[in-house]
Amino acid sequence: MGKIKVLDEQLANQIAAGEVVERPASVVKELVENAVDAGSTTVDITIEEGGLAFIRVADNGYGIEAGDIATAFQRHATSKIATSSDLFRIASLGFRGEALPSIAAVSRLECVSADSSSGLARRIVIEGGAITADEPANSPQGTDMTVKDLFYNTPARLKYMKAIQTELGHISDYVNRIALAHPGIAFTFKHNGNVLLRTLGTGDRLQVIAAVYGSNTAKVMLPVEAENSDYELRGFISKPELTRANRNGITAIVNGRYIRSHAVNQALMQAYHTLLPINRYPLAVLEIGMHPGLLDVNVHPSKMEVRFSKEADLRSLIEDAVKQVLSRQRHIPGPESSR
Ligand code: ADP
Ligand code: MG
């Protein structure tokens, strides 16, 4: 017998969790992305103590079939891709099949789900990666995931967690952005019993901007819309008089996914150019749609970074569209500036 052995699944999941579950916000992100992928129209997010004590995400999506529920918690188990060619045209937010086993490896997780076709519900409880209950249940259609005591069995990671307010800040930031990305979904977000965000799911993005940034901000946003043969751009940008001290007010959404993109930020900044005071940044929500084949999302486990096939074209589409909106705004005074 040699010295090299393949790790057992529980240990492998715990190692993967180090990458996938960086902090409570990563759990919220993965669970909410699953809810969005399930075609939900309502997603309720409830957390306690910055998510370290308690995270619950309940949706009304298509659910997990009773016979599939244990499989969903296996490593690399996914219903979203099947072949390597699927990997080059990803239309869902998830595809790696890593989130559920990773989260379940470092917490006490309970999942109750009822799928849309059979209506049958099942409940599974997993603690530190080990199944402690797997039984029939009663539940309306959809999925209800509860994650308690995150990192209880990984003390080194737990020690690394910041103050509750910091963890809450990361979660809140993510929830705001996924709500901005999906105005058609009604999101509710509660922390320690307080409602921090509620969106209506009417599809009106300006309404979500008002819920996130306030109605005064929503009032000074300008719509932007443009397309070329590969990309479609839609969203809202702030008038140059509304600026912020950092780039956090810029939300880029690509095929329904909130991402961080230097290319998008730069194109936007280039368009405002001298209209902004030095070291000030606009507020913007930009949704970019494209054929999934033009996008590589398999860059990092968090799926926050993407690569565009035709980045230069995308940059000029954004820059030109934003420039046009801003120049129109300057030459034809709107009702506000004419007063
Ligand atoms: P991925 O999202 O990458 O497929 P996950 O580990 O996040 O991997 O989830 C595994 C599978 O469990 C998903 O592919 C999906 O079939 C199922 N699933 C998870 N959450 C939900 C949900 N909220 N509603 C319906 N199905 C879900
Ligand atoms: Mg997922």
More confident residue, 172 or 85: 172
Task: Report pLDDT digits (tens) over 4-48.
Answer: 999 998 899 898 888 899 999 999 999 999 999 999 999 999 999
Task: Report pLDDT digits (tens) over 264-273.
Answer: 999 999 999 9
Ligand 1 atom with the shortest distance to the CA of 115: 25
- Whole-prediction pTM: 0.94
How many CB atoms are located within 10 Å of the residue 192 CB? 14
For the question of an ipTM over 0.90, the answer is: yes
Q: What's the gap in Å between 94 CA and the centre of ligand 2? A: 4
pLDDT band at 337 (very low <50, low <70, confident <90, very high): very low
pLDDT on residue 338? 42
Task: Report pLDDT digits (tens) over 96-118.
Answer: 999 999 999 999 999 999 998 88
How many CB atoms are located within 10 Å of the residue 189 CB? 24
Ligand 1 atom with the shortest distance to the CA of 97: 8
Q: What's the gap in Å between 135 CA and the centre of ligand 2? A: 23
Q: What's the CA gap between 250 and 36, in Å, rounded? A: 22
Mean pLDDT of the chain: 94
